[in-house]
Amino acid sequence: MRKAAFDFDPHAAAAAAQAGSFTDVAENWIKHYVERKKLRAKNEIARQLNAYVYPRWAQTPFFEIRRKTVNKLLDNIEEENGAPQADGVSGDERLPW
């Protein structure tokens, strides 16, 4: 218990609480980046988020998502929908992860 109290970072906790869920961050990113840049891939980005990411991460706090979380998601997409779809979800440098 003492170690947990010692390791607690109030600034990181406040930032995580303020960031919200993955959905909150992703929708904010779509609004402030994708729409503002008028990206032609907007519909495909939204489709991939709705079909493959939101069902698993919708309410996940954004700061809890780590590299291994992303790898697990992509592995699941590959198993269920094939490697090309997993590559499509991960390969777009415009996505927020």
| Residue pLDDT, tens place only, 33-53 | 999 999 898 999 999 999 999
Q: Is the pLDDT of residue 93 over 60?
A: no
Identify the pLDDT of residue 2.
62
The count of residues in the chain is 97
Cβ–Cβ < 8 Å for 86, 71: no
Residue from 9, 49, 3 nearest 29 by CA: 49
pLDDT value for 90: 87
DSSP state of 94: T
Please state, in angstroms and as integers, the Cα–Cα distance from residue 73 to each residue in 15, 32, 65, 70, following that order: 24, 25, 11, 5
Q: Residue 8: phi, psi to the nearest 5? A: -65, 130
Tell me the mean pLDDT in the region 50-76. Answer: 95
pLDDT at 66 over 80: yes
What's the chain's average pLDDT?
Answer: 85
pLDDT (0 to 100) of residue 49: 95
Q: Describe the crossing of helices 83-91 and 67-81 by its angle, rounded to 10 degrees.
A: 140
